[in-house]
Amino acid sequence: MVSPTITYQFSTASVNYFLPEQLENLTALAAGKRLVLLTDENLFAAHAARLSAFDCIVVPAGEPYKNEQTVAQIIQQLIVREADRQTVLVGLGGGVITDMAGYVAGVYMRGIGCGLVPSSILAMVDAAIGGKNGVDVGLYKNMVGLIRQPLFLCYDLSLLSTLPQSEWVNGFAEIIKHACIKDAAMFAELQQRDLAFYQQNPAALQSLIERNMRLKNEVVVADEFEQGDRKLLNFGHTLGHAIENEYQLPHGHAISIGMVAAAKISENLLGFAATKAVEQVLAQYGLPTHFNYDKTKMMQLLKMDKKRSGNTIHYVLLNQIGQASYQSIHIDQLEKLL
Ligand SMILES: NC(=O)c1ccc[n+]([C@@H]2O[C@H](COP(=O)([O-])OP(=O)(O)OC[C@H]3O[C@@H](n4cnc5c(N)ncnc54)[C@H](O)[C@@H]3O)[C@@H](O)[C@H]2O)c1
């Protein structure tokens, strides 16, 4: 019996977090149940020896494969294996895999157990946490999905040894986002350090990941159905998503540009005084802070945003570092501010 590092209680389930842990212990984390692992080709190639001990379903890597076709293939593979309701499907990978594993586990036989082994920084601090899962349909991101909590998450930080540098940078955009909206002390720590420091200091990295895992869980547990604080996690994402979709920028880059824009709007509307510090910390972690986007096009996209209501758009702004709020901005005013 392995004891979890921490357990979070949601309305429908409790979720065990094991941090740090080794993926070799997965069977014990799943209380001895039969496991089927879902992973992508990159992870399977990079960790072949360690994964050979498990029954693995391997799918192509990347967002273009986060779709219903891949889901159908995974389900076929589960049927071939005669996976039953006692089987636990464990998603080992970045956010694409953890989203798909959560979704397939939620619909296969109307629901089997799910475990997650997040392997990218983004999945460790964000995507794997909170129970949201799903797949894209054509150009529509996360169009189909569920909110369903996994049984457990296993954080094996040694998997990060093969994470490409560009994915480290992407993941740190979400860490900086967390610091901006909720944790001024973490923001100060990030200012003192850089990516190379965390890559060379496993203890500091583990503590940073755990701090972000706890921060996201606390927000989600307090607001499971996104009525309040959970919306703050969208800081930088309103303009960020529009830029990401229109210009095919990496997610972290687009969010970084979105955070700088939101900081500037905060400066104008709320007297936020630390835009420079936000820009500096993003740049320090290899993220872009400016992008010459087509303002008219962006406004058209923002007008279609889910967060629009009538003539206003709900925007996450910063009152100060570590303290965010949700504000309604009139579309005409937003156009001027951008
Ligand atoms: N459910 C949620 O709440 C939530 C929140 C945020 C993001 N997401 C989703 O997460 C996805 C993005 O996640 P991501 O950035 O992790 O993308 P990803 O899963 O595509 O991983 C990025 C790349 O890194 C590779 N990779 C991951 N870990 C690796 C490792 N340890 N070693 C070698 N290669 C590795 C993957 O194979 C992939 O090529 C998006 O689909 C997004 O919608 C979901």
pLDDT digits over 210-234, tens only? 999 999 999 999 998 888 899 999 9
How would residue 305 be classed by pLDDT, with cut points 50, 70 and 90? Answer: confident
According to the model, what pLDDT value does residue 186 have?
A: 98
* Per-residue tokens: 205: 């990295």
| SS3 (DSSP) at 94 | coil
- List, chain by chain if needed, residues with CB within 6 Å of any ligand 1 atom: 40, 42-43, 46, 61-63, 66, 93-97, 99, 119-120, 122-123, 126-127, 130, 132-133, 142, 159-160, 162-163, 167, 170
Task: Please write the tens of the pLDDT for every residue from 45-91.
Answer: 999 999 999 999 999 999 999 999 999 999 999 999 999 999 999 99
According to the model, what pLDDT value does residue 2 have?
A: 87
According to the model, what pLDDT value does residue 301 have?
A: 86
Long-range contacts for 277-282 (Cβ within 8 Å, ≥24 apart)? Answer: 277/187, 277/191, 277/321, 278/176, 278/180, 278/318, 278/321, 280/191, 281/176, 281/179, 281/187, 281/190, 281/191, 282/173, 282/176, 282/256
Per-chain mean pLDDT for the chain: 96
Catalytic-residue membership of 216: yes
| Average pLDDT rounded to a whole number, residues 15-22 | 98
Q: Is the pLDDT of residue 101 over 80?
A: yes
Using a 10 angstrom Cβ sphere, with 0-12 exposed, 13-18 middle and 19 or more buried, the burial of residue 26 is buried
